[in-house]
Amino acid sequence: MDDSTKRLLQRLMRRIPSQMLQTILDKWAHLSREDLHSLDFTQPKWVLTEHLLALCEENGLRVKHITELEMIYIIENPNQGMWHGFQLLDAEEDAPSIELTQFKEQFKANLTELISHVSIKIKKHTDEAIWIRVAWGDNFTKPYHLKPTYVVHHLQTPYVFVTGVTSKHKPLLNQALVLATRYSSMKDAHLSGRNLTAIRDLLMRQYQQVFPTKHPKPLQEKNPVPRNPNIEKEQAENTENRLQMACEAFGDGTLPQLQKAVYKLETKFRDNSNKTLTGREEPFRGVVEFASTNLLESLRHCVSSGMASTPVTPLLSSITQKGRNYFVITDKGV
């Protein structure tokens, strides 16, 4: 094993938390049963890493095996790094009938045509998602494995999720994906976050949605608190209405975990009390950013508790309705 492979394995071992180590090594299945048993998982991690390095050398494992290990780890824990959502546009006739082997061949062929030194690994996960790991090199250097790009695509859907791609490689990746999936182009869905499951759920509308009804009945509470007959709420209807509107805009139950919503303003300044800034021709540029550990949950609470006025402004509800969290607002609308 050469130095760069050893470094890759050491870096990877540092990343994987100790509790998951055993399960991931089991899944990897490149070490024999006796080898795995010989590893003592109660030792400190650096001791374990040395031991593992020795075992890999014995078994003659190479870079491609280590990258497989990394891929298994990332597939198990996808919610790290920054994921970006993309949408494929204008499907051609045979796009819905693409199946796995065809996609794999096409993608590998396209990408290796564009860049000769790439390392590509494609894997199909149990939930029908295709995971692709790409390590980029260029015409003169070998692929650099310490900064790989991961792509997740669900076949027959027009959505692609990418993490770790630089602006240099993005157009190449886009082109390879577009050709392999038989669409005509790919655009940025303007949705990004740390949590892959959240982004996927939001784009593919897989969270619990609430639809407006003509005859609203109050939303069933999960644990109805026994009401004391002596205590009565005067404005209970208002509270229910607010809760209903909040859930219509953002969803019910556990919401996808978004961290940020960014609104880039390119509107003219409008405030009659400030004469110097109002009435200028150029737009007043500003950026409004909402950040939270779970943004949709916070916004839903703001609306249901009355902090944000109802009906919910379309600026906020378009986060869920359009599935994006980056908006550019001009004077003519979003």
Partner 1 sequence: MSLLKPFSKLPGLNTANILLVENEEQFQQKLADTVVLQEKTVNVNVRLARSLPLPMENEESRPRIDLVVFIIHLTSELSFQSAETSLKYLDPGYFQGKVCFLVTNARNVSVPPERLVSVRKLAASLHCPLLCAEDQTTEGVTTAAHRLLAILKVAAGLVPMATGLYLSTLTRCTVPSDIDQQNFE
* Site residues (vs partner 1, CB under 8 A): 228, 230-235, 237-239, 305-306
Q: What is d(CA 151, CA 84) in angstroms, rounded to the nearest whole number?
A: 10
Helix (H, G, I), strand (E, B) or coil at 3: helix
Distance CA 129, CA 66 (A): 22
Provide, rounded to whole angstroms, the least separation between the CB of residue 227 and partner 1: 11
Kindly write down the DSSP assignment for every residue of 241-260, as one continuous string.
Answer: HHHHHHHHHH-BSSPP---E
135 vs 308 by CB, closer to partner 1:
308
Distance CA 239, CA 304 (A): 7
Q: Kindly give the interhelix angle for 170-181 and 100-114, rounded to the nearest 10 degrees.
A: 150
C-beta contacts of 17-20 below 8 A and 24+ residues apart: 18/45, 20/73, 20/76, 20/77
CA distance 327 to 264: 6
187 three-class SS: strand
Task: Please report how close the Cβ of residue 313 comes to partner 1 at its closest, in angstroms.
Answer: 18
Sheet architecture: strand order including 260-267:
284-291, 260-267, 326-330
Residue 225 vs 287, nearer CB to partner 1: 225
| Closest separation in Å from C-beta 305 to partner 1 | 7
3-state class of 100 per DSSP? helix
Q: Considering only CA atoms, which of 105, 191, 118 is closest in space to residue 149? A: 118
Nearest distance from C-beta of residue 237 to partner 1, angstroms: 7
Instruction: Tell me how far, at minimum, the Cβ of 311 lies from partner 1, in Å.
Output: 18
Residue number, 172 or 303, with CB nearest to partner 1:
303
Residue nearer to partner 1 on the CB measure, 309 or 313: 309
Closest CB to partner 1 among residues 3, 234: 234
Q: Is 206 or 305 the residue whose CB approaches partner 1 more closely?
A: 305
Contact 27, 21 (CB under 8 A): no
Residue 9's closest CA among 48, 53, 40, 71?
53
2 versus 221: smaller Cβ distance to partner 1 = 221
> Six-digit token pair at 89?
């546009």
CB of residue 306 vs partner 1: minimum separation in angstroms?
A: 7
Cβ proximity to partner 1: between 228 and 276 the closer is 228
- Minimal distance in Å, beta carbon 307 to partner 1? 8
Give me the least distance between CB of 38 and partner 1, in Å please.
Answer: 55
